[in-house]
Structure 1
């Protein structure tokens, strides 16, 4: 068995795909109108975004609407990555339990994701 795709629910798949394409440099792989968009990563892994009517963004760190899934991205500089991603539309929740080891942001649809330093750095 091999993982081939991870798909996130959202209200606007093309917009969220554009955010992650700019954030990661992954190319657009597939778009199906306004209902689905995907990016292709290493080894063919698809990061997909599908439209959900009446979408409610996760409430992090609260669990009134659980996060259900989050993505981790390794970066060399937490501050520089946060600044760049904020310019693309990411937000920084007040709660930051990672100290200087990782940083939590939310994408434009509200999904939390983590920026982490490479193993051995910042710990």
Structure 2
């Protein structure tokens, strides 16, 4: 029997209901659990993300060079342009300027609360 059943990424934010709705729509999540200071979502593929209320939460200031990124989420997508448009349409923003060259094509975005995440082009499965 495994010691750890699963992991959950938890983002602190001032308004967990609002931020959870952004990610619920982006991830097309159906499973939502709401408590007083936390909202958990689970997408169809099993990814789990939670949002914890922190009245003093401030957005990370990355990509300023003097600040670290601390942590970020990464989402594998088939179509970078479509995923980036979805993020912007849901109230997020693009942080990277256009396509970044290299073998791992990716785009950096931020959610409405300022948490950064990466859209990475998914490699075809064998």
Same fold flag (TM > 0.5): yes
Residue 117 in structure 1 maps to residue 90 in structure 2: no
Contact 1:57 1:65 in 2 (8 A): no
SS in 1 for 2:87: helix
Name the structure 2 match of 1:74.
Answer: 76
1-structure distance, mates of 2:95, 2:17:
24
Contact 2:96 2:107 in 1 (8 A): no
- Per the TM alignment, residue 54 of structure 1 is displaced from its structure 2 partner at its CA by 1.4
SS in 2 for 1:8: strand
Tell which deviates more after alignment, 104-113 or 90-99. Answer: 90-99
2-structure distance, mates of 1:111, 1:19:
12
TM-score by length of 2: 0.80
Name the structure 1 match of 2:24.
Answer: 21
Q: Deviations along 1:14-49, whole A, 9 cap, x unmatched? A: 00110000000112421113x211102468653110
Q: Displaced runs of 4+ in structure 1, greater than 6 A?
A: none
Where structure 1 has 5 or more consecutive residues not aligned to the other structure, the ranges are: none
TM-score by length of 1: 0.82
2-structure distance, mates of 1:117, 1:16:
24
Give the total of aligned pairs.
Answer: 119
Contact 1:26 1:39 in 2 (8 A): yes
CA distance change for structure 1 residues 63 and 14 in 2, over 3 Å: closer, same or farther?
Answer: farther
Name the structure 2 match of 1:9.
Answer: 12
Tell which deviates more after alignment, 85-94 or 1-10. Answer: 1-10
1-structure distance, mates of 2:85, 2:11:
23
CA distance change for structure 1 residues 55 and 96 in 2, over 3 Å: closer, same or farther?
Answer: farther
Where structure 2 has 5 or more consecutive residues not aligned to the other structure, the ranges are: none
2-structure distance, mates of 1:94, 1:44:
27
